[in-house]
C-alpha cells in the first residue's frame, strides 16, 4: 500500500482501515486466509511479506476472542511487532501457552488473528497516512480431533444435514469442526439464493440457512471454505424434510 498524502488540518493523523485478506493495496501481506492451529504442536507459523519495495513497514500482530476482545492467553503472537524491510519476507508465530489445555478438547475453538501494518512516518507536513489491517479466523484444533490424511480425503463437511422447517432450512453440523458456508444455490450452475448471507456453523451446532426452502428446491448446493481457503461445493438430495449430501455427485471446487 502506498502512503497517500492529503491536505489536512491535523498533522501526522493516522487512519486505520479494516480490510479483508488479499487486498491488493495492503503493504503487509499474509500467506493465508485462515489459520488452523494443530493442537498436537506448540505453534503455528505464517509468512508475511512487505509488498512495498521502497519503504520499510512495521507489522503488529495480536489475537482476539470470538467477542472481539484482545487476548494474551491461551494463544499469543510472537513477535508482537516486527520491522520488514522493503520487499522482504518474515515469519510470525502463534504460540500456545499452558492455558491452552483448559480449552475444550472434543471440538474446535475459534479466535481471530489480526495483522496491522504501520507505515513509516511521513516527512511531509500536514499528511494523512492510511494503514490497513487484516483479520482472519484462527481455529484451535485439539490433537484429539486432528484428522488423518485418510480422513481428509473424505471431508467432514459432507456430514452436514439440512432439515426443512416451514420455508427455511436448519443446518445441522454433527462434527467437532466449525464449518463456514459462503454460497447456497438451487443448482450447480444457478445463482446465489436471494437473501443468503455467509455463515459459520458451530461444532455440533445448528443454524438457520436464511433462504427460502421452496426456492432452493430438493437438490440444493452449498459451498464451504476448507482448511486451505478452497471453496468446494456440495450437492444435497432431499427426502421429505431432510437433505443429505449426495454421495453420487462429486464435490466440486470453485
pTM: 0.86
Rounded to whole angstroms, the Cα distance separating 87 from 81 reads: 17
Could you report the per-residue pLDDT of 99-139, keeping only the tens digit for each?
A: 999 999 999 999 999 999 999 887 776 666 677 899 999 99
* Number of Cβ within a 10 Å radius of residue 52: 21
pLDDT value at position 8?
Answer: 37
β-partners of residue 96 are 75
Asked if 77 contacts 113 with a C-beta cutoff of 8 angstroms, the reply is yes
- pLDDT, tens digit, 9 for 90 and up, residues 171-189: 999 999 999 999 999 999 9
CB 249 within 8 A of CB 206: no
CA distance 75 to 140: 9
Amino acid at each position: 500500500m502506498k502512503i497517500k498524502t492529503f491536505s489536512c488540518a491535523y498533522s501526522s493523523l493516522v487512519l486505520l482501515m479494516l480490510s479483508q485478506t488479499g487486498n491488493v493495496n495492503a503493504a503487509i501481506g499474509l500467506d493465508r486466509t485462515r489459520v488452523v492451529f494443530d493442537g498436537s504442536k506448540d505453534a503455528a507459523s505464517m509468512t508475511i511479506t512487505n509488498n512495498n519495495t521502497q519503504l520499510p513497514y512495521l507489522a503488529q500482530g495480536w489475537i482476539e476472542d470470538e467477542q472481539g476482545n484482545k487476548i494474551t492467553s491461551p494463544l499469543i503472537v510472537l513477535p508482537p511487532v516486527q520491522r520488514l524491510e522493503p520487499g522482504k519476507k518474515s515469519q510470525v508465530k502463534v504460540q500456545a501457552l499452558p492455558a491452552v489445555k483448559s480449552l475444550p478438547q472434543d471440538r474446535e475453538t475459534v479466535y481471530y488473528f489480526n495483522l496491522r501494518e504501520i507505515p513509516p512516518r511521513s516527512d511531509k507536513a500536514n499528511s494523512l497516512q492510511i494503514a490497513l489491517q487484516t483479520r482472519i479466523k484462527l481455529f484451535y484444533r485439539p490433537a484429539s480431533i486432528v484428522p488423518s490424511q485418510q480422513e481428509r480425503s473424505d471431508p467432514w463437511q459432507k456430514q452436514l444435514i439440512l432439515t426443512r422447517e416451514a420455508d427455511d432450512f436448519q443446518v445441522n453440523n454433527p462434527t467437532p469442526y466449525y464449518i463456514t458456508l459462503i454460497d447456497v444455490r438451487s443448482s450447480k450452475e444457478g445463482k446465489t439464493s436471494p437473501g443468503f448471507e455467509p455463515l459459520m456453523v458451530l461444532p455440533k451446532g445448528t443454524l438457520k440457512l436464511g433462504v427460502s426452502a421452496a426456492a432452493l428446491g430438493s437438490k440444493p448446493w452449498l459451498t464451504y471454505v476448507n482448511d486451505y481457503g478452497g471453496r468446494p461445493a456440495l450437492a444435497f438430495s432431499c427426502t421429505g424434510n431432510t437433505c443429505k449430501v449426495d454421495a453420487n455427485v462429486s464435490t466440486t471446487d470453485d
